[in-house]
Amino acid sequence: MVNIHPSPWEDDGALYPGAHGIRDTLASGATTAGASVHFVSAGVDDGPLIASETTAILPDEDEDSLGERIRVEIEHHLYPAVIDALAEGRVEADGDRFRIN
């Protein structure tokens, strides 16, 4: 099972896990935001990463406008691309990480 989450990823999972990834990204003062597709695990947004993309946060961007931009610019193409790669057998383990061939 895979999930998409609106946050960049780090070694231990989502940089901003949980239901408010975009709000938490903005509150942190970060200059970049993103979305990540990962395998689901028992924890919250901490399963093995498959793919992630980031984008710069624009001046005066709020949670709604950034969320919409992440959905349109990243999630709407990243999630289907990962699903296609999984269906085609192109997602491969690389140590404790995964990559798309």
Catalytic residue among 5, 20, 38, 76: 5
> Greatest CA separation found in the chain?
41
Collapsing DSSP to helix, strand or coil, 84 comes out as helix
Contacts of 57 (CB under 8 A, 6+ apart): 25, 26, 30, 31, 32, 33, 66
Token pair for residue 83?
């699903």
Question: Closest by alpha carbon to 3, among 101, 100, 93, 75?
Answer: 75
Is 77 a residue of the active site?
no
Token pair for residue 100?
């798309």
Which residues are marked as active site?
Answer: 5
